[in-house]
Amino acid sequence: MLIELYSVVQVAGATVLKILPISIALGIVFALLTHWSACNPGHPWWRKREIVTDVCYWFLIPLAARFVRIGLMVMGAAYIYGIQGTDDLIKFYDDGFGPLAALPLWAQALTFVVVSDFLLYWVHRGFHSASLWKYHAVHHSSEDLDWISAARFHPINIFLGTVLVDVALLLAGISPNVMLWVGPFNTASSAFVHANLSWTLGPFKYIFAGPVFHRWHHTALERGGSSNFAGTFPIWDLLFGTFYMPENKLPDAYGIDDKSFPASFGAQLLYPFRR
């Protein structure tokens, strides 16, 4: 029992140590960029309302997601492929398996990013439905939208979205080694699109999601809140009719209609179950 507990603490510590330097770097970079290119005037990100809540999400949600991801991968290997035992699991996942594992690691990483973004586009649209919105409303609740708002997701939203998609692709044969590249890329990309920047990316707005593109998604439904569901590649919004980027106009108000939405981390986790 003590060995298992030590392993959990060790994994948790390693995860936090990975997140911390990335967080410091992102905080410095976006503080400087926002000083010159803010989309919306206001306080710097470290003085935003509910900063403590966002910091809790930033560190605790990735930690929980990692444990759930590992658990699902272990169960998936056992029930789908009959693989059990620590050594066998490590050997099974180490370099991936099947046709996808035959690809160079960079090609596996690219496949992972593109396919996961396509799947998450539809998952994202699903969470805007009436039955799932109460979970996704947590993410849209931030009125002071900034890079650190990127991790404000209810655990149910993360587990039924990103975590399941990640596990599905890894169980399909892609090597977990791609996460060494994909993990930092996803963190930086998500922080970038939530940053308080006035960047439309010009002609590249049709290729890569940028801050203005995603900030429109965080506005009211009658403005851009029912558009721009893609996390990385706007091609999905272009293909399925949900792309919205008005010319010479910037989004300026964010949040949800529920004015009684709680401000604290714990209360927000309970919010979907109290409706």
Q: What is the pLDDT of residues 98-147, one digit of tens each?
A: 899 999 999 999 999 999 999 999 999 999 999 999 999 999 999 999 99
Give pLDDT, residue 89.
84
Residue-averaged pLDDT of the chain? 92
Mean local confidence (pLDDT), 6-30: 77
DSSP-based three-state secondary structure for 120: helix
pLDDT digits (tens, 9 = 90+) for 213-227: 999 999 998 888 999
Lowest-confidence pick of 79-88, 118-127, 174-183, 220-229: 79-88
Q: Crossing angle of helices 51-81/2-37, nearest 10°?
A: 130
| Residues in CB range of 224: below 8 A, 6 or more apart | 216, 217, 244, 251
Are 215 and 145 in contact by the 8 Å Cβ rule? The answer is yes
Backbone angles phi, psi at 207, to 5 degrees: -105, -45
5 has pLDDT over 80: no
One-letter amino acid of 12: A
Mean pLDDT in residue range 166-177: 94
Mean pLDDT of 38-44: 92
Q: What is the pLDDT of residue 6?
A: 45
Q: Which 8-state DSSP code applies to residue 56?
A: H
The candidate with the shortest Cα–Cα distance to 229, out of 239, 219, 243, 250, is 243
pLDDT at 13 over 70: no
User: What's the pLDDT band for 36 if we cut at 50, 70, 90?
Assistant: very high
Token output for 199? 């960047």
What pLDDT does 4 receive? Answer: 46
User: Rounded to an integer, what is the distance from CA 196 to the centroid of its chain?
Assistant: 17
- CA separation for the pair 40, 196 (Å, rounded): 7
Mean pLDDT across 247-272: 94
In one-letter notation, the amino acid at residue 87 is D
CA distance 211 to 205: 10
Reported confidence tier of residue 11, pLDDT bands at 50, 70, 90: low
Coil, strand or helix: which one is 256?
coil
